[in-house]
Amino acid sequence: MSRLPLFTLALLAAAAAQAQDKVTFATNWKAQAAHGGFYQAVADGTYRRHGLDVTIQPGGPQVNNRPLLPAGRIDFLMTGNLLHSFDNVRNGVPTVVVAAMFQKDPQALIAHPGQGYENFAALKNAPVALIAKDGQFSWWQWLKAVHGFRDEALKPYNYNLGPFLANPKAIQQGYSVAEPIYVENQGRFKPVVHLLADHGFSTYSTLIEARTETVRSRPDLVQRFVDASILGWVNYLYGNRKAANTMMLKDNPEMSEAEIEASVALMKSQGIVDSGEAASRGVGAMSTARIQDFYAQMVKAGLYKAGEVELSRVATLQFVNKGVGQDLKARLGAK
Amino acid sequence: MTRLLARGGLPAATLLALGLAWELLVRWAEIPAYTLPAPSRIALTLWQNAPSLAASWWFTLRITFGALALACAGGVLIAAAFALLPTLERALWPVAVVLQVTPIVAIAPLILIYVPSTTAALLLCAWIVAFFPILSNTVIGLRAVDANLRDLFALYGASPWQRLALLRAPSALPYFLAGLKISGGLSLIGAVTAEMVAGAAGRETGLASRILEASFRTETPKMFAALVLLVLTGVLIFALLHALSRWWLGPWHASESAAGP
Amino acid sequence: MAAQAPGPARRDGGTPPRLALHDVHVRFAGGVAALAGFTLQAGEGDFVALLGPSGCGKSTVLRLLAGLQAPSQGTVSSPAVAGLADTAFVFQEPTLMPWASVFDNVWLPLRLAGQSRAQAAGRVHELLRAVGLADFGHAYPAQLSGGMKMRASIARALVTRPAALLMDEPFAALDDLTRQKLHADLLSWWQRTRPATLFVTHDVAEAVMLSHRVVVMTPRPGRVAAQFVVDAPHPRPAGFRHDARFHALCRQVAEALERSP
């Protein structure tokens, strides 16, 4: 066998290794299990194999990464629900959703057990509802309009469990795959968890947003990032996530490995990532119908006016629904 | 009246010119509204959202002036108490200083947790920020009494109350007013900071919450509109307090009676 | 015109003098002695001038009589020391309350004694008329000339018909013409109630012009060096300033001043 093809291959590989696209991806919180797939793709080299040199820029309690995307300071942005995208389109901000990593929004309300909050309808009568700024201006408005919650109960949530733990009658927001674990660790009780998604808040979550300009001029880059991220999630959920966890613990030392693993278990049992459309079409799947349905619900809730948002500009389906990661999942023997 | 116009003429013209430059820059560079809105866009947004912005403005005004009034009352009363009871002053002065130097950004969330009413919590935060200049200036003023006048009062057998009311209080007035001018701006800052940091929302909300809300919903023109109202409030407070100082001190104090600009 | 050795000067039968210092020593904290064995008396109807070089302790004498200071040694007796608010003091500065009108300034001693504005109005206006400030009741001190301010200060001093009047170089800061006018006016006002008066000055001519008796002090530490009775009608006739007796006495006093150890 001539050494030429081997040599050419080596050259190509070297060239490919050098032609890595530098990409910054900003998340919406400190590193946690709900970001696991992205950290996985960095830690196990999936991004690198797709020609991407990805830097993850975490968010945090007082950090708002969203303006960075239209300003060109980051390349991709993680957002928590479609409401942000509706707002962007309404205000003419040139960004678009390219993938939806979570089929279910883990946004939830948690309460003390044995206080009558086992029934979702009882939550609206809670004397104190601890909601953070981001939620106050988005899904809380939906809770008020559709489920009868009142502003009188609203108190600002500053990501401190203290007030909730101290007041048995209080309820607060949280991610169904995160806060209950912390509450159990600190408060030594299992809280009641009500997923908003189970009561009509049907948005996708952990969306990947990009500038429309990037989608138009560098679709290949976007496709590679989406594909690698999807593979990252499959590997994270069903494969060996040690390296990813270590990376996340470095970014957020306040977490523990046990908490991360508990969170992953919850993500799987609640079907956050890999249910519905994603089960058949792969992680990150989106459908126009579901976006339209969610918008219609928000219109009914009074958050938007009918026709105010051009839905075709909210998301593009060109990068997902291709079954990426399905065979990997099968190979990992996923359940 | 013409003098008033002449005095206001140059600043007004400057502001107008800056506004024009801003408008032209945005149009020429085609800066999108969600990054930097043009003044015309901001004005339009103000107009379109007038009712809701006005309600928030009213709330912020109430908190600001409420806190300022309480800061006056608190600052003056505590200063008078310190003047009459020097031991009290020695004992409590460190407390006042601690309150002053603790960043409101850090304690506002705590106050909002422990105080049941949001409005009361915001008032308290703004008060903490605003009261110290009034207190410290008034304390200094109450001490800055002309020595001969003090001897005169002693000679005529003035009681401590007479001394406080007829000699020390008027002597302290220019100092108090200087502190008041500082505290006017601070009470606005305190009210806004408290609301921003603690993220109060719901019914009891002022302009700071509207700015936050607009920021979270990427409605930048509305952010700027609310900001314009805040700036106007600050200017209003400044003008009011300066007019008050001029009226009160005008006939007799060097700071106001000297031929001004 | 006769020079007299230091000693008590009694005008009436057995009533003790209103103002008296007997062998008074005043030592300050650093060990500096202001007065060393100072003795002086003045009764009702006495106008005594206290003359001495700078730093001889003249002002300390007044402060002792005003009860503002206590002697290190010796006795001081005066209405103020006895606890009566019956002493008036005129400082070198007019020492008017700048925030109050001329009326309010003259009203002050009566006000501190408990008289309302209405009750005191008559007396205050009487004094304002007497000192030539009848039209300036509503004016503020900042609007008055130096001489007018001093008149207001004297009006305030006389408003209570004081038993004792202490004056600390009140005309030192005024120009010659104003000062001479005030000399004549002061004596005519003084005639009405004739309080025991101690007038401190460093001006020989002023001392001779105004007083029944001139007391010359030694430099620090102060004690009485010499006393001179001014043997001339009181108040002075017109043109007394050009009188030979005036000049002679001035010369005598000046010599005593220069000679004093």
**Residues in contact with B93: Cβ distance below 8 Å, sequence separation at least 6, in sequence order:** B82
pLDDT at A289: 95
Q: Spell out the residues 6+ positions from residue B32 whose beta carbon is closer than 8 angstroms to its own.
A: A70, A92, A93, A94
Domain count, chain A: 2
Select from A162, A177, A199 the last residue of a domain.
A199
pLDDT of residue C122: 94
Distances (CA, A) of A36 to A246, A249, A283, A319, B247: 11, 11, 14, 21, 66
Q: B200 and chain A: CB distance < 8 Å anywhere? A: yes
Q: Are residues A175 and A292 in the same domain?
A: no
Indicate whether B2 pLDDT > 80: no
pLDDT at B115: 82
The pLDDT value recorded for residue A64 is 81
Query: What pLDDT is stored for residue B224 in this prediction?
Result: 95
Does any domain span residue B108? yes
Domain of A45: which CATH number?
Answer: 3.40.190.10
Contacts of A87 in chain B (CB under 8 A): 217-219
Whether B41 is covered by a domain: the verdict is: no
**Facing A137 at nearest CB: one of B34, B203, B213:** B213
Q: Is the pLDDT of residue A318 over 90?
A: yes
Strands C164-168 and C196-201: parallel
pLDDT of residue C95: 94
Chain B residue with minimum CA distance to A135: B216
State whether B219 and A134 contact (CB < 8 Å).
no
> B181 CA to chain C: closest CA distance, Å?
20
pTM of the predicted model as reported, rounded to 2 decimal places: 0.77
Confidence (pLDDT) at A134: 81
Chains in contact with chain B (at least 3 beta-carbon pairs closer than 8 A): A, C
By residue count, chain C amounts to: 261
Neighboring chain B residues of A91 at a CB cutoff of 8 Å: 33-34, 217-220
Q: Are strands C33-42 and C19-27 parallel, antiparallel or unpaired?
A: antiparallel
Q: Give me chain A's average pLDDT, please.
A: 91
A243-247 average pLDDT score = 95
Q: How confident is the model at residue B200 (pLDDT cuts 50, 70, 90)?
A: low
Rounded to the nearest 5°, which phi and psi values hold at A305? Answer: -100, 150
Judge whether B23 lies within some domain.
Answer: no
For position B199, what pLDDT does the model report? 63
Of B92, B70, B58, nearest in space to B186 by CA: B70
- Mutant choice from B148, B151, B152, B255 vs C, greatest count of C C-beta within 10 A: B152
Closest chain A residue to B118 measured between Cα atoms? A155
Residues A77 and A211 in one domain: yes
pLDDT score, position A12: 64
- Alpha-carbon separation of residue C194 from A14, C44, C109, C125, C158 (angstroms): 116, 7, 19, 20, 10
- Chain C hits for B148, CB-CB cut-off 8 Å, are 91, 93, 95
pLDDT tens sequence across A141-179: 899 999 999 988 888 887 889 889 999 999 999 999 999
Sign of CA dihedral A186, A192, A195, A200: negative
CB contact under 8 A, C112 and B153: yes
- The whole-number pLDDT of residue A214 equals 96
Q: Chain B window 125-154: which residues touch C at a Cβ cutoff of 8 Å?
A: 146, 148-149, 151-154
Binning pLDDT at 50, 70 and 90, where does residue A98 land?
very high
| Same-domain status, A112 and A99 | no
Domain that residue B201 falls in: 53-257
Chain B residues close to C141, C-beta within 8 Å: 252
Distance of CA C193 to the CA centre of its chain: 14
**What separation in angstroms does the CA of B128 have from each of A97, B63, B114?**
45, 13, 15
pLDDT band at A9 (very low <50, low <70, confident <90, very high): low
In chain C, list all ranges with CATH 3.40.50.300.
3-86+162-259
Per-residue model confidence as pLDDT tens for chain C (261 residues): 444 444 444 444 556 778 999 989 888 888 788 888 899 999 889 999 999 887 788 889 999 999 998 998 899 989 888 888 789 999 999 999 999 999 999 999 999 999 999 999 999 999 999 999 999 999 999 999 999 999 999 999 999 999 999 999 999 988 989 898 899 899 999 998 899 999 999 899 999 999 999 999 988 888 888 999 988 888 788 888 888 889 999 999 999 888 866
Which of A176, A199, A222 finishes a domain?
A: A199
CATH number, position B101 = 1.10.3720.10
pLDDT of residue B113: 76
The answer, yes or no, to whether residue A193 has pLDDT greater than 90, is yes
Collect all residues of chain B within an 8 Å Cβ-Cβ radius of residue A163. Answer: 113
Whether there are 3 or more C-beta pairs closer than 8 Å between A and C is no
- Order the strands of the A128-131 sheet from edge to edge: A154-156, A128-131, A170-175, A107-111, A192-195
Task: Calculate how close chain B gets to A22, using CA atoms only, in Å.
Answer: 25
pLDDT in tens, B66-109: 999 999 999 999 999 998 888 999 999 899 888 888 888 888 87
Report the domain count for chain B: 1
Q: Residues B157-166: what's their mean pLDDT?
A: 91
Q: Is CATH 1.20.1260.10 the classification given to domain C3-86+162-259?
A: no
3-state secondary structure of A206: strand
Residues of A with Cβ-Cβ distance to B112 under 8 angstroms:
155-156
Residue A331: Cβ within 10 Å count: 11
Can you give the pLDDT at residue B61? 94
The domain in which residue A228 lies consists of 3-103+203-331
What is the residue-averaged pLDDT of chain B?
88
Domain boundary among A199, A233, A251: A199
* Residue type, position C60, single letter: T
Where residue A133 falls among pLDDT bands split at 50, 70, 90? Answer: confident
pLDDT in tens, A56-75: 999 987 788 888 999 899 99
Judge contact between B217 and A137, C-beta under 8 A: yes
Q: Which pLDDT score, from 0 to 100, does residue C18 have?
A: 84
Nearest to B216 among A93, A133, A163 (CB): A133
pLDDT in tens, B33-69: 888 999 999 999 999 999 989 999 999 999 999 999 9
Cα of A133 to nearest chain B Cα, Å: 6
DSSP β-ladder status, A76-79 and A21-26: parallel
The count of CB pairs under 8 A between chains B and C is: 54
**What is the share, in percent, of chain B residues with pLDDT greater than 70?**
93
Which pLDDT band holds residue A293 (cuts at 50, 70, 90)?
very high
pLDDT of residue A13: 62
Least confident among A215-219, B39-43, B194-198, C223-227: B194-198
Domain identity same for A257 and A313:
yes
Interface of C with B in 71-100 (CB under 8 A): 80, 85, 87-89, 91, 93, 95, 97-100
Interface test with A, best of B30, B31, B34, B224 (most A CBs within 10 A): B34
Q: Which long-range contacts (CB under 8 A, 24 or more apart) does B2-6 make?
A: none
State the complex-level ipTM: 0.87
Nearest to A154 among B35, B202, B216 (CB): B202
**What does the pLDDT average to over A258-282?**
93
